Amino acid sequence: MTKIRGRTVGYGIGGTVLFLLAIQLVPYGRNHANPPVVREPAWDSPATRALAKRACFDCHSHETVWPWYAGIAPASWLVQHDVDEGRKKLDFSDWTGKRKGENAKELTGEVRKGEMPPLPFRLLHPEARLTDPEKETLIRGLDATAGHR
What is the pTM assigned to this prediction?
0.83
pLDDT of residue 1: 61
Domain that holds residue 54: 2-146
Query: What's the rounded Cα separation, in Å, for the pair 36 and 39?
Result: 9
Residue 74 near residue 23 (C-beta atoms within 8 A): yes
Q: Buried b vs exposed e over 70-86: b needs ≥16 C-beta within 10 Å?
A: beebeebbebbebbeeb
CA nearest 101: which of 112, 88, 113? 88
Do residues 112 and 141 make contact, with C-beta atoms less than 8 angstroms apart? no
Convert the pLDDT of each residue in 45-97 to its tens digit. Answer: 999 999 999 999 999 999 999 999 999 999 999 999 999 999 999 999 999 98
pLDDT digit string, tens, across residues 16-25: 887 777 778 7
